[in-house]
Copies of this chain bind each other. A is one copy, B any other.
Amino acid sequence: MTPGSDLTQAIARYAVGSRFDALPQEVQREAARAFLNWIGVAIGGCHEPAPTLAARFVAEKGNKPSAAVIGHDVRTDVASAAFVNCIASSVLAYDDAHLPTVAHPSGPAASALFALAQSQIVPGEEFLNALALGIEIQCRIANMLVHPPSPMNPSFYVNGFSGPIGVAAAVGRILGLNQQRMAWAIGIAASQASGFRAVHGTMTSHFRPGYASQSGTAAALLARHGFDCIDNALEADGGFVDVYAAGSDPGRALEGLGQHHEMLANRYKPYPCGIVIHPVIDACQEIRAKLPPAARIAEVRLRVNPLVLALTGKRAPRTPLESHVSVSHWAAVSLLQASPGLAATRPTCLHDPLIVRLRDQIQTAGSPEIGKGEAIAKVTLADGAVLNAHVVDARGSQARPMTDAELEAKFFELTRPKLPAKAAEKLRDTCWRVAKSADVGNDIGGHLP
């Protein structure tokens, strides 16, 4: 059998058989880290305009109060709560990223599972197993879609394609679907795959992961009722792979499944912007540290992977959402300010004349020989002095993953405006202990804003 020729069933089989105690300890631990990171960023983002408007939209439905919309006085059905909370966790562009594919897998999976865990009792180990599973499947589908020989148009937004499938597997696992229904869930999810990057910089960019979370959840809930699909929706003639990425390698999605854990390549963001910008931030921060007092910058030249310009080439961001896709904005901020964070996405910073002037001076060139985690910065001062920085592995990358302490600091930065300090500490502790929880929805739900 050609590797991948049974893609749908192979994923369904793996999902149905997945167990927390069979996962390597580092995967178990990484799932807890992903959860802590997710809940921090979901709380941090919950009052932004996009999730606030989405919360109003779901509140109108008046659904059964199964699950909380974080930060809003709204409880709704599982899929709708997953939708809004995932928008909240996505909207600051501060979530996570699987650098090989630039997918953001935690949000759709964690939002769906956390909503489900409020409508039924889900023990911590089952929760973390499903979370690891949902992230794993998303990373693997994304690898198949993004890498050669896949011809998939890079203008597609990969989260809208990998997201529903991974979420369906994760939710289906908690629901206890058998392999047949799991395969249908995956098929129903795949038939909702969609999204393109052109909407980036607007709320609809965050609608996509939210919708991936919702549609994967709905797929699993429908399949549980016996709503059917073909058994091989991913690899069928004219099916998912065929229409979006004919010629890609489905075997890639299954390589070492159960042995190699691709979710370990998923990383948490140290900066609230597109992950491909991060090496530039580090390089500019390195130069900033070397700038003489009152130095006047005459020229800034960046060399980056071509993807950086393709994804984050917005020259003059006008809104927080646009700031996420502006490498020149972040370069300017990182040359002028220490430890740039959420404040860099706010209008005060976006329209700060000093930032705007420097931003317009940034010259960025893409070179394929520069890696996605790499950046070279060269700054020339008015007096002719030249400062160089070459970042090979950005902060937060596979080679320099965020430590638990850094994750906690990020968690507190995000939750501080929403939760009293004591409450935030309690929530952090509960997250770290989530594997031991007998009822995740109840244990965590009580600590939300």
Interface of A toward B, CB cutoff 8 Å: 49-50, 53-54, 56-57, 60-64, 66, 77-80, 153, 155-156, 160, 184, 187-188, 191-199, 201-204, 207-208, 211, 218, 221-222, 225-230, 233, 236-240, 242-243
Contact of A54 among B62, B227, B233 (CB under 8 A): B227
Residue contact B221 to A57, C-beta cutoff 8 Å: yes
Residue contact A227 to B198, C-beta cutoff 8 Å: no
Nearest-neighbour CB distance to chain B for A45, whole angstroms, equals 15
Nearest-neighbour CB distance to chain B for A136, whole angstroms, equals 23
- Which residue of B has the minimal Cβ distance to A195? B191
Residue contact B202 to A229, C-beta cutoff 8 Å: yes
Q: Can you list 15 pairs linking A and B with CB atoms under 8 Å apart?
A: A54-B222, A56-B225, A62-B77, A155-B242, A184-B204, A187-B202, A191-B194, A191-B196, A191-B199, A191-B204, A196-B240, A198-B233, A199-B239, A201-B230, A202-B229
Given the interface contacts A202-B228, A218-B57, A230-B202, does A196 sit within 8 Å of B243 by beta carbon? yes
Nearest-neighbour CB distance to chain B for A200, whole angstroms, equals 9
Query: Which chain B residues border A208 with CB–CB below 8 Å?
Result: 191
Residue contact A199 to B62, C-beta cutoff 8 Å: no
Q: How many subunits of this chain does the assembly comprise?
A: 2
Residue contact A207 to B236, C-beta cutoff 8 Å: no
Residue contact A57 to B196, C-beta cutoff 8 Å: no
- Which residue of B has the minimal Cβ distance to A211? B192
Residue contact A239 to B198, C-beta cutoff 8 Å: yes
Q: Bound complex: CA of A197 vs CA of B184, how far in Å? A: 15
Nearest-neighbour CB distance to chain B for A420, whole angstroms, equals 30
Nearest-neighbour CB distance to chain B for A324, whole angstroms, equals 15
Q: Bound complex: CA of A155 vs CA of B191, how far in Å? A: 12
Given the interface contacts A211-B192, A229-B199, A229-B203, does A79 sit within 8 Å of B53 by beta carbon? no
Query: Which chain B residues border A61 with CB–CB below 8 Å?
Result: 63-64, 66, 77-80
Query: Which chain B residues border A50 with CB–CB below 8 Å?
Result: 227
Query: Which chain B residues border A230 with CB–CB below 8 Å?
Result: 198-199, 201-202, 204
Residue contact B222 to A57, C-beta cutoff 8 Å: yes
Contact of A155 among B49, B56, B77, B238 (CB under 8 A): B238
Query: Which chain B residues border A198 with CB–CB below 8 Å?
Result: 230, 233, 236-239, 242
- Which residue of B has the minimal Cβ distance to A319? B228
Interface centre among A54, A62, A184 (most CB of B within 10 A): A62
Interface centre among A53, A191, A221 (most CB of B within 10 A): A191
Residue contact A222 to B188, C-beta cutoff 8 Å: no
Q: Bound complex: CA of A49 vs CA of B225, how far in Å? A: 10
Closest 6 CB pairs of A and B: A62-B64, A155-B238, A61-B77, A194-B194, A204-B229, A198-B239
Given the interface contacts A208-B191, A221-B57, does A196 sit within 8 Å of B239 by beta carbon? yes
Q: Bound complex: CA of A195 vs CA of B196, how far in Å? A: 15
Residue contact B57 to A227, C-beta cutoff 8 Å: yes
Residue contact B225 to A53, C-beta cutoff 8 Å: yes
Query: Which chain B residues border A243 with CB–CB below 8 Å?
Result: 153, 155-156, 196
Given the interface contacts A194-B192, A196-B191, A196-B240, does A222 sit within 8 Å of B53 by beta carbon? yes
- Which residue of B has the minimal Cβ distance to A196? B243
Q: Bound complex: CA of A192 vs CA of B163, how far in Å? A: 13
Nearest-neighbour CB distance to chain B for A441, whole angstroms, equals 16
Q: Bound complex: CA of A105 vs CA of B439, how far in Å? A: 46
Q: Bound complex: CA of A56 vs CA of B50, how far in Å? A: 30
Q: Bound complex: CA of A75 vs CA of B325, how far in Å? A: 43
Query: Which chain B residues border A63 with CB–CB below 8 Å?
Result: 61-64, 77
Residue contact A233 to B199, C-beta cutoff 8 Å: yes
- Which residue of B has the minimal Cβ distance to A204? B229
Q: Bound complex: CA of A201 vs CA of B57, how far in Å? A: 34
Q: A50-B227, A56-B225, A187-B202 are in contact. List 17 more A-B contacts (CB 8 A).
A: A49-B226, A53-B226, A57-B222, A60-B64, A60-B77, A61-B78, A63-B63, A155-B239, A187-B204, A191-B195, A193-B194, A196-B243, A198-B239, A199-B229, A202-B229, A203-B228, A204-B229
